[in-house]
Chain A
Amino acid sequence: MNEVRAMRVLLVDDNEMGSELLAEFLALSNLETRCAATGAEALELVGTFAPDAVLLDILLPDMDGYELAKRLREHANPPRIYALSGLARHERRDAINGIFTGWIEKPADPDALLAILHEAN
């Protein structure tokens, strides 16, 4: 019998304490998580961890989240990519459509965040 594996979520944020907290919160809901503090780390992890979803802070130290999302999309099995950002809705640019699966404003309601992740799975 095939065992259903837990949903994998990659958290990309240079705020490491925030990332670790979110990872702990998601783990309590039986999601498997990894954290990356930079775009380079995220690109490395997407190959080995094979996440189902990526929660991506769009302001990273080494590359912008928009550029990172485009590169993550080039992966053989691209994950769903959600922007997690303090920028307001009207501050997204049109071109974000098609790059991000969704846009979640900070501070995100934890239960709503879970619902978004489960809904798309």
Chain B
Amino acid sequence: MMQSDTLGQLAVKGVQLKVLSQIFPVLRHEVLGPLSSASLAAAMLRQAPEGASDEAVQQRCERLAGDLSDMLDESVNVVRDLEGWLSDGGANVACGDLLHDCRKLMFSHLLLSHHGIRWPEQVAHADVPLFSTRYLVLAWLLCLLPLVPADTHLELDASEPGVWRARVPEGEAASERPPAFDAQEVELLATAAGWRLERQDRCWSLHLPV
């Protein structure tokens, strides 16, 4: 029993790492943002505006050094936050915030894949565990997107408390590549997180933990 539990946990971690690899470009982008600004501030410290007084130059240097320090602090925080992808700190998050976060995280995947998602405008309020739910929702979307026909969007509905639905419009799948995730992997994450995945022909529903 202990052996199978351990293998089950490893399987969940394996799927989570697959998810992480898909959204890695966005995480790297987030890290590079403040570092890019810090690099600019450092370059500007080497410049001196023409005709400026010594006092003005000194003030400018102090301001830029302060900005540089703030940006490096921000970079440190962004890097530290990456820990939240590897270990479950037990935090909960509002569903609306989670979907907003997932929208950002899916950005590079959508850009590369030509797929689109219509994100819900209304999200019924509930708090869910951040660590497991974020992985689950991303896997759910990544699994369904390749089934979406060209020039259409995967439609998300989170307006009903207790259940989120993803609907694939009628038509032939646009993607020639096989999905990065299969249904069993999404089910594995759902079960581990206490959710239930219900699969119908063109609508997959995630039932929130009761």
Contact = CB atoms under 8 A, between A and B. Distances in A.
Contact of A17 (B43, B70, B107, B111): B70
A21 B67 contact: yes
A110 B70 CA distance: 20
8 contacts: A17-B71, A18-B71, A86-B31, A87-B29, A91-B111, A91-B112, A106-B29, A110-B44
B34 A91 contact: no
A18 B40 contact: yes
Contact of B34 (A15, A22, A24, A28): A15
A21 B40 contact: yes
Contacts of A64: 107, 110-111
A59 B71 contact: no
Contacts of B31: 86
B39 interface: yes
B36 A18 contact: yes
A86 B30 contact: yes
A88 B44 CA distance: 25
Contacts of A91: 25, 108, 111-112
B25 A107 contact: no
B13 interface: no
Given A85-B29, A87-B29, A17 B36 contact: no
Interface in A93-113: 93, 95-96, 106-108, 110-111
Contact of B111 (A22, A28, A93): A93
Contacts of A81: none
Given A28-B47, A28-B49, A93-B112, A88 B37 contact: no
A17 B108 contact: no
Interface residues of A, number: 27
B32 interface: yes
B33 interface: yes
B40 A59 contact: no
A106 B71 contact: no
A18 B34 contact: yes
Contacts of A28: 44, 47, 49
B31 to A, nearest CB: 7
B111 A106 contact: no
A59 B114 contact: no
Interface string B35-68: 1110111011001010000000000000000010
A-B pairs with lowest CB-CB distance, top 4: A86-B29, A18-B37, A86-B32, A107-B36
Contact of B26 (A15, A24, A25, A59): A59
B118 interface: no
B12 to A, nearest CB: 27
B34 to A, nearest CB: 7
B142 to A, nearest CB: 16
Contacts of B114: 93, 95
Contacts of B32: 86, 106-107
